[in-house]
Amino acid sequence: MQQRALTLLLAALSALMVVPGTGAVMAEPPKATDAFGAALTLEQPTPLATVLANPERYANQAVLIHGRLTDVCQNKGCWTVIQDGAAHVRVRFKDYGFFLPKDSTGREAFVEGRVAVETLTEEQAKHYESESRNGNPDAIKGPQRRVGFTASGVRLVQR
């Protein structure tokens, strides 16, 4: 009887959760997530448009971004593109250490990692474009300057 009461008490308490970064209490827990890579250590996402407006400011420091996945590598799931409003960035995974399911496009995600301003060779840029769902590698001409993101961890929110 005591064990059942304890179980019910714990279930009731778990239904009251604080929304990270807000202090607000919500009545129900958030939807479960699918976890990939390392645990997320940051609670408050930085808007992707803010990061892309001044990527050098965020270079080589941990950043949490949030958005919807608009593309995933169709060969292995070894990269994705995350979009928040009009802003988007290609995300690779630290040390090639984890992959996302190839059908993750459209899912909401929290991604923690590091920003880098990089120049891709024409060959590298064409390679990425060839792995995209609607890619057009022939449209790539010359080196491409891009803001990249290397994720240490990804959490996909359940559909």
What is the span of the domain harbouring residue 13? 1-30
Question: Beta strand pairing status for 87-93 and 144-157?
Answer: parallel
Rounded distance, CA 94 to CA 104, Å?
Answer: 18
Tokens standing for residue 77: 């799931």
Q: How many domains does the chain have?
A: 2
Instruction: Say if residue 90 is in the same domain as residue 14.
Output: no
Shared domain for 77 and 9, answered yes or no, is no
Specify whether 60 is located in the same domain as 10. no
Question: Are residues 96 and 152 located together in one domain of the fold?
Answer: yes
Rounded Cα–Cα distance for residues 64 and 55 (Å)? 13
Pick the closest to residue 112 from 36, 49, 55 (CA basis): 36
pLDDT tens column, 112-147: 999 988 888 999 888 888 887 777 888 889 998 888
Do 103 and 128 fall within a single domain?
yes
Three-class DSSP category at 131:
helix
- Are 22 and 41 in a shared domain? no
| pLDDT per position as a tens digit, 67-101 | 999 999 999 999 999 999 999 999 999 999 999 99
pTM score > 0.75 for this model? no
Do 49 and 7 belong to one domain?
A: no
pLDDT at site 46: 96
Number of residues written out for the chain: 159
